[in-house]
Structure 1
């Protein structure tokens, strides 16, 4: 089963980005930072999500992110599917914090259950076929709209969504140019997918 070890974000200021992510989310080795001035404008075609246990945890993470310098894109709201909000980190990365729970079961913990990378793609069916060809197993699939891969106990989960739908969900315009400013490290090896998202061999895979 293909595993995703980490996500690398290309940022202009690694020191500032490290400070933000430590203060906002307390993320560990599953998120790496790399200095880059690669040109990019508008929507970068992906979002990162933290799924949490209860609404109080959503509020705690969003509040911490805003206090650390994030920009609100969608306020925390209740909906039919649960509770969530969207913020944009100072480096430009869009983060969604969400839970399917409707009620709190205790005080906020500032802990998350999973980190999910959602790639916005032009053709979900074509990208699904591509990733299956790279050895990824499909966990859930909803026709040509959404695909979630089974990455086992990986620290990062992966899903595909239509680019315009993902931008709408994030509260931004779908247009964007230049670098995605993200790389995915896993044991599937090094390649670039049909939408230009780059994969790199993980340290475990590249070790002699």
Structure 2
């Protein structure tokens, strides 16, 4: 089964980006790969990365450590229809959402990461879903033309926080969730890896063949 095997962020300064991810979230190159790039990009890049956690205290803890590491707060921690969350933008421009489905305070922060999610903002959710099914990805959840989540590979290519879950959402709605204007041009500044080889999806997100071992930042 084809699945999302790696996420590579293209950043101007790989050393600074690596330091941010470690300090803010405790993530290393096994979770988020880095590649040096000066590709032009402006505004919303069309995706968000999400960290789901057990409780509101964890949302606040990760938000605080991200801001202390240099991130900009886009949305302060607060309750929502779906739970409790916040949004920050890393110094490299990547937008991160910290979230839990729990609205109740249930003790101190554990800084446990339950799931990592890559949410792509697409023009047509149904069309993109069909495209990815054609590439060999299996649908885990689907809510019409609003949201699609694909199954992760459970065979050993990624476990725990080693693999992102791939999901699709309408681009305007994702920008609203992120708290930024929907407009954006240039490079997405992200490359996705899978066993399906190289291709580009209908919204311009680039995929490449990838190995399971995480490379050093360059």
The superposition leaves residues 44-87 of structure 1 with CA deviations (integer Å, 9 ceiling, x where unpaired) of 00000001111111011000000000001111101231100000
Q: CA deviation at 1:186?
A: 1.7
Q: CA deviation at 1:107?
A: 2.1
Conserved 8 A contact 1:119-1:159: yes
Match of 1:177 in 2: 185
Match of 2:174 in 1: 166
Query: What pairs with 1:64-83 in structure 2 (closer than 5 Å)?
Result: 64-83=65-84
Match of 2:54 in 1: 53
Match of 1:19 in 2: 19
Equivalent position SS for 1:159: strand
- The 4+ residue runs of structure 1 with deviation greater than 3 A are none
Q: 163-172 vs 182-191, which deviates more?
A: 182-191
Q: 107-116 vs 64-73, which deviates more?
A: 107-116
Q: CA deviation at 1:204?
A: 4.4
CA separation in 2, counterparts of 1:114 and 1:98?
10
Query: What pairs with 1:1-208 in structure 2 (closer than 5 Å)?
Result: 1-28=1-28, 29-153=30-154, 154=158, 155-204=163-212
CA separation in 2, counterparts of 1:105 and 1:150?
30
Structure 1: unaligned runs, 5 residues or longer? none
Equivalent position SS for 2:141: strand
CA separation in 2, counterparts of 1:27 and 1:173?
28
The superposition leaves residues 20-59 of structure 1 with CA deviations (integer Å, 9 ceiling, x where unpaired) of 1110011131201111000000000000000111111101
Structure 2: unaligned runs, 5 residues or longer? 214-218
- Number of residue pairs matched? 205
Conserved 8 A contact 1:50-1:115: yes
Conserved 8 A contact 1:187-1:204: no
The superposition leaves residues 122-176 of structure 1 with CA deviations (integer Å, 9 ceiling, x where unpaired) of 0111100000000011111111111111114441100000000100110000000
Equivalent position SS for 1:151: coil
CA separation in 2, counterparts of 1:6 and 1:94?
17
* CA-atom RMSD in angstroms: 1.3
CA separation in 1, counterparts of 2:85 and 2:127?
30
The superposition leaves residues 72-131 of structure 1 with CA deviations (integer Å, 9 ceiling, x where unpaired) of 111110123110000000000000000001224332111211110000000111100000
Q: CA deviation at 1:4?
A: 2.1
